[in-house]
Structure 1
Amino acid sequence: MKTIKRNGQVVEFDATKIEDAVKNCILDAEGLKAPGTTVDAANNSRIHEIARRITTLVVDTLKRRDRENVHIEDIQDQVELALMREGHHQYARA
């Protein structure tokens, strides 16, 4: 599967980018990326587990569609839907 970026460039799909984006979203939403805060996101199992779960749900959804290319906006929509379905509304809004 390939990803179509906003600039039209087509690149290999990389699920780790979804996981990283979800982790950053959680950190932002919880105010843990603000200057002066200390959080060891690399060792925060709760954040990792949420990000892994959301990534798995999104990748499974995209694979079921059986498309060769997927637009980045569609990936973002799927991440938002997965977050809401899992009850993480505050992260989906962020």
Structure 2
Amino acid sequence: MYAQNGGGLCSQLNGLVCNGTEYFGSKNEVEGRCSRDVEMLRLIGQYLCDKGLNSAYAQLSKESGVSLEHDDATELRHATLEGRWNDV
């Protein structure tokens, strides 16, 4: 499956396949931010991407440090798609 919005910045949405590029690294998520805030920012980011507002999402992600998807989910998906079954 591929992201319906085509790729680019918003190609990693809740387990959908990305195009192999790394635009999101939640490694820089702001420490101390409560989980509710992080989830709210992810929902807003997903909405922006769904509406094609990629630059607005990029700015939100840059300022908040929050990505749409956790690093572990991204790594699991990449390992599965690349057939690295020992890593899955």
> Scaled by the length of structure 2, what TM-score is found?
0.30
The structure carrying a bigger helix percent of its residues is 1
The structure carrying a bigger strand percent of its residues is 1
